Structure 1
């Protein structure tokens, strides 16, 4: 199990975008090669 902790105060002055995608390795590889 992975635990990720973000401190929101670190991002107050910066614009940021957080994207998390959970998929199988095969789906990830397919998307990676399509987008190259």
Structure 2
């Protein structure tokens, strides 16, 4: 399981509940690149 996630949605909402396609899992190295 990924510890970090990256938001792929352009929404400005702080939390997107139930949105499966709005986040993607990332490892620590990939998360810190962006």
Query: Does TM, normalized by the shorter one, top 0.5?
Result: no
Higher strand share: 2
Higher helix share: 1
Q: Which has the higher contact order (CA 8 A, sep 6+)?
A: 2
